[in-house]
Structure 1
């Protein structure tokens, strides 16, 4: 189980990235929302979709869920 966060600021392409705790590209504390503990990034993306319509996994820390 890992802790996951969503970036509150969308990327230039419109999606909100989901990051695993410890990612070197994790947004600043004021620009992220804690999603919870999940066994996979896919579960974390589902949680992020409750807040945002357009989400994607971080290329570096949630690559299995990265689609762009």
Structure 2
């Protein structure tokens, strides 16, 4: 899956990571491509190379998806 991080900071002070399929992914000029990853956790680690505080979108980067 392809992942991106939002360039714009949230009110919490962090930058949000999104999968390419996410409905809440920001427009192209407002995001940075992180790469293809097996898990959202890998994408979150990659995002830390760009921003100190990052978190995953609750809709597309849930670390504990329902089975």
Normalised by the length of structure 2, the TM-score is 0.91
**For 1:1-16, what aligned pairs fall within 5 Å after superposition?**
2-16=1-15
Bigger share in helix: 1
Which stretches in structure 2 are left out of the alignment for 5+ residues? none
Larger Rg computed on CA atoms = 2
Across the aligned residues of Structure 1 and Structure 2, the Cα RMSD in angstroms comes to 1.1
Which stretches in structure 1 are left out of the alignment for 5+ residues? none
When the two structures are aligned, how many residues end up with a matched partner? 64
Normalised by the length of structure 1, the TM-score is 0.90
